[in-house]
Structure 1
């Protein structure tokens, strides 16, 4: 695609890129921090991880949008972060989780270099992959409901803000719910006479030496890779295609895979092609001329780098929040993903029973032999599907 013609105003695609980055960040950074803390990161390590994914996805967007003159945007894996939140601590603790992040990045690179791996992942029925994701998301999506009971004065304003703007301006419903949560935090700190340590507001990196354990590879690396591919990269390509753009698969996998590898030692869990938020930069609202929308990708990448500089302040806000407020924001941010996952899981009547089994196992939260429930949910769903399909071929 051609570059922007001299003299043409760029305010529209630039604004679209800023909005893409801002909505994506404020809608999901809480989930990223929650997921990293769940698998063993300290507050400082989680803040470092948030900074790492902001930088790597910002650079990834800049590289891909500039090189291919397309509004390609790179995002962190929100479903992957939710998966981490449901997984919890694994054998080997945080260093093992970091090792699993490295493996995920390596697998994404391998997917770009070796098409067979991509085809193998594609053979996992989407209904089962989405059912696993829905089961993992369910406990997180219940947080706004339970939070109203635990801390009504803090959670009810957040939920009401989300509800009002879900009707008036759906794109901004979650970001504005977070703004309300920030106000709740501020009021709470003022009422307690507490002060914020300025050191918490300075972005910093925490390097972790990764280790490899079987438990982390099975509980984190494999499910995280599958969720990132099935819920982010594959839909991201499809969404871009719907706007007339053919994303270069191999370069995209190499950039996001290398970015994940680079960010892992600093706590970044995974980056990938943007899916839902991709439409903000690639759609007609970014610019009527499809040949000019690549500027939105550049703008989104630059904005992600700026937000990375503020990541420590956002992490501090989460750390200082009253009970149940931040989990409620995270749950509200996942409502749309949960609804989409459930719909895709049960959409095909022939795949419904394996999907239901997968969902129930994932939602149970029960781990076995030190392996997270996400892995066992996949195993259970594939086992039930195999048995049912064998029966159909034999007795049909």
Structure 2
């Protein structure tokens, strides 16, 4: 603990805060879309984010202290994007697919099968698969200029400028710019937000072949 306190500094705290902020703000909207696609209730969606935050926080803290290296765990943005595009799969079926997916990831990591398989897959194919999953969200951002041109263009300009002069803070600055423009246009309706602690919601898993093939 004494050594950990010695390693703690303002720059390290800021770097960790920015990493978490970028991770959440850059893709949490996709997680919400995935929850909606699966028919999750607001309570289940809140529980989902609660589990993600708690799991990522504890694993990042534990692994960093154990390995004495900056280890940051995060959800899979392409995986969330894939879920956002599914149809005909219920929340219990998705939970069952998550369990199978987690078991497969554990087996792949323990046996190094994944590393051997990826060594045989050309990088171009892997990149194309990733692009195919995320392409719809990029196109949706462009199409949003029809309904919210000021918001989209302002965020795009801030991103381009920040990537040039302040690349580390590009995503937080884009978020702040978007919030500022949305507030100026009256798009923020904070009065409808119900503040409270997130609570876990139990979802009994269900296993089906379509969900296992399409999600896991």
TM-score range, shorter chain: 0.7 to 0.9
1:107 counterpart residue number:
104
1:213 counterpart residue number:
208
Once the 2 structures are TM-superposed, how far is the Cα of residue 198 of structure 1 from its aligned partner? 5.1
> 127, 132, 135: which is aligned to 2:132?
135
Pick 1 or 2: higher relative contact order, CA cutoff 8 A, min separation 6: 1
Compared with structure 1, are the counterparts of its residues 48 and 188 closer, same or farther at alpha carbon in structure 2 (3 Å cutoff)? farther
| Structure 2: 5+ residue stretches without partners | none
Greater Cα radius of gyration, structure 1 or 2 = 1
1:274 counterpart residue number:
none
| Cα distance in 2 between the residues matched to 1:127 and 1:42 | 38
Deviation per residue, 1:127-172 (Å, 9 max, x gap): 2222111112111101221101122244333333323323322232
Superposed, which structure 2 residues align to 1:369-384 within 5 Å? none
Compared with structure 1, are the counterparts of its residues 186 and 209 closer, same or farther at alpha carbon in structure 2 (3 Å cutoff)? farther
Compared with structure 1, are the counterparts of its residues 115 and 190 closer, same or farther at alpha carbon in structure 2 (3 Å cutoff)? closer
1:170 counterpart residue number:
167
Q: Does 1:196 align with 2:191?
A: yes
Deviation per residue, 1:177-216 (Å, 9 max, x gap): 222332344345579xx56245355323222111111111
Compared with structure 1, are the counterparts of its residues 117 and 169 closer, same or farther at alpha carbon in structure 2 (3 Å cutoff)? closer
1:76 counterpart residue number:
75
Compared with structure 1, are the counterparts of its residues 8 and 212 closer, same or farther at alpha carbon in structure 2 (3 Å cutoff)? closer
The 8 Å contact of residues 60 and 72 in structure 2, kept in 1 or not, is answered as yes
> 143, 147, 150: which is aligned to 1:146?
143
Compared with structure 1, are the counterparts of its residues 114 and 198 closer, same or farther at alpha carbon in structure 2 (3 Å cutoff)? same
| Cα distance in 1 between the residues matched to 2:116 and 2:200 | 36
| Cα distance in 2 between the residues matched to 1:195 and 1:110 | 44
1:19 counterpart residue number:
18
Compared with structure 1, are the counterparts of its residues 201 and 5 closer, same or farther at alpha carbon in structure 2 (3 Å cutoff)? closer
Deviation per residue, 1:78-126 (Å, 9 max, x gap): 12112222x32234x1111111111111111212333345534543433
Return the TM-score normalized by structure 2.
Answer: 0.84
1:88 counterpart residue number:
86
